Amino acid sequence: MKTIKAMISLFALVAIMVPDVAFGFAYRLPTQTARGLAKGNAVITEMNEPHSVYYNPAATAFSKGFQLTAGGYYVTDRTDHENKPIVDEKSKRKSAHVPNVFATWNLAKLNLENATLGFGVSAPYGLAKVYELSSPIAPVVQKARLKVANYTITGAYKLNEKLSVGSGVDISYSDGELQRVVDFGALAGAPRTLDGGAEFKGEDTSVGFNASVLYLPAENHSLAFTLRSEQTSRLDGDVRVRLPGALGGGLLTGDAHARIKYPMVLQGGYGYQWGKLKLEFVLDWARWETVNSLVIKSTSNPLITDTNFRGEFDNVFTYNASATYEVCPGFDAHLGFIWTETPIPDNTFNALVPDADRLGLSTGITWRYKDLQIDTAFQWVHFEGRSITNSVGAPLASVNGNYDTDAILVGVNATVRF
């Protein structure tokens, strides 16, 4: 057992030292661990689980000793775009690993048994889309990538046996890249005959906060409320514009920056324990309305014009539910359900984030042996088809057509308790 603990601790250390948090299938990634994945993210009323550092810090106040979980999930997705007879294409299927590490330490040895500290590394946001260079979408966006590594430090205090509070700091490192085709031929009345390219890369570190409450009003009942603040990240970097050979070739380069916002999120949850069965329900509200245009602004080369992606997102709800059944001592089975509204209206839809209302169904198991716990999960996500007719990219490009996206997620986490 000591060897297993040492191996997991080493894995966690490596994940902390190399936080290359991979991008996933959407701008926001509410799932952080295999257990959360299996239960459709309906986990904010759980106690004695180290992933509560992210999901609900107040719940960590009920943990004991030192606990650590490490793992992650793989996500793969693809978007089909059809606008016959002009186009029938598929974005390149992208697979990514989204790792996580969470740890809690109850301060009983310091005579502060009601207090618990927490630390975590996660990826709450991410994006990856790649389209063919010949796609009619390419002059709008050909490749988009956003990687976010979030470092969370939390503290929780148990006021009594029924009520605890928690809060923390979120430090987010963001690394973004955007590429698109520049259609110089369209300026001469011959679209897609003189293609060049533009590329932006930038990075930044931003800071936010979180706060939460866990309340046990009666035996077998639990209520939870969480808040994660908005963050604004200014990605500072450079932009490069590649000229086609017919125009002399070469590169135009310059400094540039872009601002991206991560929305405020509020959650409320209810849990009920009925014998060996636990049911949990969570309502999630994300304030996307503050996410307006994404502007890539060149600051040092007057020959490079700004790029503007109009946003105008809407606030949305996500509905989460889960059921956990103790099959036998040390073995639990999980089912999860997610329904998410898209924040992107039709009039500002673009292929940068080809989002849609989506349904997620998940399952998983938990196995425990002494101080070791293994969680595994599988989730299938179906995005409702969207038929888009708007002016995004006009007159040089078009994102119109029908979009269908699917995603599959598979996760595993190992937890040890000291």
Domains along the sequence of the chain with CATH: 2-417 (2.40.160.60)
Mean per-residue pLDDT, 24-40: 84
- The mean predicted confidence, pLDDT, of the chain is 87
pLDDT number for residue 137:
82
Ranges 95-109, 268-282, 380-394: which has the least confidence: 380-394
pLDDT number for residue 15:
43
Mean per-residue pLDDT, 402-406: 85
pLDDT number for residue 9:
47
pLDDT number for residue 92:
55
Instruction: Please check whether residue 356 is in contact with residue 333, taking contact to mean a CB–CB distance below 8 angstroms.
Output: no
Ranges 133-137, 212-216, 222-226, 328-332: which has the least confidence: 133-137
pLDDT number for residue 86:
63
Indicate the pTM of the whole model.
Answer: 0.89
Query: Is the pLDDT reported for residue 363 higher than 80?
Result: yes
- Dig out the tokens for 213 from the structure: 């409450």
Q: What is the pLDDT of residues 34-66, one digit of tens each?
A: 999 999 999 999 999 999 999 999 999 999 999
pLDDT number for residue 18:
39
Query: Is the pLDDT reported for residue 312 higher than 80?
Result: no
Mean per-residue pLDDT, 150-171: 97
pLDDT number for residue 8:
45
Instruction: Please check whether residue 56 is in contact with residue 214, taking contact to mean a CB–CB distance below 8 angstroms.
Output: yes
Q: Which residues of 87-107 are buried (b: 16+ CB within 10 A; e: fewer)?
A: bebebeebebebbbbbbbbbe
pLDDT number for residue 3:
43
Q: CB neighbours (10 Å) of residue 381? A: 20
pLDDT number for residue 14:
42
Query: Is the pLDDT reported for residue 243 higher than 60?
Result: yes
Query: Is the pLDDT reported for residue 253 higher than 80?
Result: yes
pLDDT number for residue 90:
60
